[in-house]
Structure 1
Amino acid sequence: MTVIDSSPVRIPADSDHPPLSLLTCGPGGGHPLPEGRDHYTISEVAQVTGLTAHTLRWYERIGLMPHVDRSHTGQRRFRNRDLDWLALVGKLRLTGMPVADMVRYAELVREGEHTFEARQELLEETRRAVRARIEELRDTLAVLDYKIDVYADARRASERF
């Protein structure tokens, strides 16, 4: 297992979350990260991710956010790996995954490689739910398309007279 750092929370590189460039942070892709930096304040992370500082602190408190380094004055110092993780969490949120399941996933990651099967099962369950939601949305879109066509046909018919 490749380990990004030796903090109490160990996040394997590559295996658990793709790099930020694949996930993109924040609404509409977020803001690009400065080249050559690996330390960010909570306000910089909030700007990049679109999350509030309050949400970032809450994520840390509930165990969703891995260990965040602190400066000698106690200020949080986020690293690129933290931004990668937050990007993954953002994607999991978009799937509709409950926060409790996201926290469970984070716990499994911290526990190590022996939890790969449990992580896979959790993600597969989420994928099934996303696919079901996509089907619901396709059906809903078909109804909307039908209704729009009905109104367009009615408008065209009334314009003929």
Structure 2
Amino acid sequence: MTLLHEGLPIAEASAATGVSAHTLRYYERAGLMLTPVDRASSSHRRYSDADIAWVRFLTRLRWTGMPIADMRRHTDIVRAGDATIAERRELLVRHRAAVRTQLEEITASLAAIDHKIDIYDREIS
């Protein structure tokens, strides 16, 4: 999967990012791409290195539970230029705090599961 100067077709972009072609199309329709995705003369999408990197970042945000509206807000302010760096940072700082809270809850739940497994292991032995 090498990126040619024309960009990757959607199937290869899907493989490169780990998201479905449907998701790539959705991100475009939802206004989540930083710039319009290039099109070949056949009108098929062609994803640049920058597009692939951006989709990977969006995917990380989704995996950590960021709502689409916040993802869209972040995309909008990135597009607005360097004057929005502080605002971008603040949005990500707030999201990081939410992710840390999630991690604490998951860690506590994992500890409870591990405890229960230990109890069962003792009973089986």
- The TM-score normalised by the length of structure 1 is 0.72
Q: 2:31 and 2:72 mapped to 1: Cα distance?
A: 6
Percent identity over the alignment is: 43
Q: How far 1:58 moved relative to its partner?
A: 1.3
What residue ranges of structure 1 are gaps of 5+ in the alignment? 1-32, 157-161
Q: 1:81 and 1:149 mapped to 2: Cα distance?
A: 47
- Structure 1 segment 1-161 matched on structure 2, within 5 A: 33-34=1-2, 37-38=4-5, 39-66=7-34, 67-156=36-125
Which SS does the other structure have where 2:83 is aligned? helix
Q: How far 1:151 moved relative to its partner?
A: 1.0
Q: How far 1:42 moved relative to its partner?
A: 1.0
Count of matched residue pairs: 123
Q: 2:97 and 2:22 mapped to 1: Cα distance?
A: 31
More helix by share: 2
Q: 1:53 and 1:152 mapped to 2: Cα distance?
A: 44
Q: 1:74 and 1:52 mapped to 2: Cα distance?
A: 19
Q: How far 1:92 moved relative to its partner?
A: 0.7
Q: 1:58 and 1:155 mapped to 2: Cα distance?
A: 49
- The TM-score normalised by the length of structure 2 is 0.91
Q: 2:111 and 2:19 mapped to 1: Cα distance?
A: 34
What residue ranges of structure 2 are gaps of 5+ in the alignment? none
Which SS does the other structure have where 1:96 is aligned? coil
Q: How far 1:102 moved relative to its partner?
A: 0.5
Q: How far 1:53 moved relative to its partner?
A: 1.9
Q: 1:137 and 1:58 mapped to 2: Cα distance?
A: 29
Q: 1:126 and 1:147 mapped to 2: Cα distance?
A: 32
